């Protein structure tokens, strides 16, 4: 189903919880072996980070509001301020997220909508320059 019914949330139209779990699982499979990104996740098990991202994306796209109930306002920039999010880190994040989005097999317009948001969010989180940059 594509997101053409204005009464349906994007979340529901692309498959709900299971779709977002697949997206996040595919994303973290890439992060788990990425030498630049993996150290940004202090927990040995990526499961808690995956759960937080799943809840956030579900809420953003019209699904359950569990993220807000458990964690409050997303405050994405503040939550990521502890990590040096450089343009290179953003690009690595986008590589893994792009592969995850493409793995879903969404309708082209749905894929474009999801990707547009993720790409804009990634760009907005840059908070550091590359080492050695002036």
pLDDT in tens, 22-39: 999 999 999 999 999 998
DSSP class per residue in 51-86:
HHHHHHHHHHTTS--HHHHHH-S--HHHHHTTS---
Q: Is residue 87 part of a domain?
A: yes
What pLDDT band is residue 127 in, cutting at 50, 70 and 90? Answer: confident
What pLDDT band is residue 1 in, cutting at 50, 70 and 90? Answer: very low
N residues, the chain: 134
Query: Total domain count for the chain?
Result: 1
Q: Is residue 132 part of a domain?
A: no
Task: Read off the CATH number of the domain in which 65 is found.
Answer: 1.10.490.10
Structural domain span for residue 45: 16-124
Q: Is residue 131 part of a domain?
A: no
């Amino acid at each position: 189903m594509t997101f053409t019914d204005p009464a349906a949330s994007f979340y529901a139209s692309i498959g709900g919880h299971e779709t977002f779990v697949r997206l996040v699982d595919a994303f973290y499979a890439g992060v788990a072996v990425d030498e630049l990104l993996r150290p940004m996740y202090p927990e040995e098990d990526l499961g808690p980070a995956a759960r937080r991202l799943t809840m956030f994306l579900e809420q953003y796209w019209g699904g359950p509001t569990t993220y807000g109930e458990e964690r409050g306002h997303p405050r994405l920039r503040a939550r990521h301020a502890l990590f040096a999010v450089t343009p290179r880190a953003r690009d690595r994040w986008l590589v893994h997220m792009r592969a995850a989005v493409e793995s879903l097999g969404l309708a082209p317009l749905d894929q474009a909508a999801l990707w547009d948001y993720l790409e804009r969010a990634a760009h907005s989180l840059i908070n550091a320059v590359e080492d050695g940059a002036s």
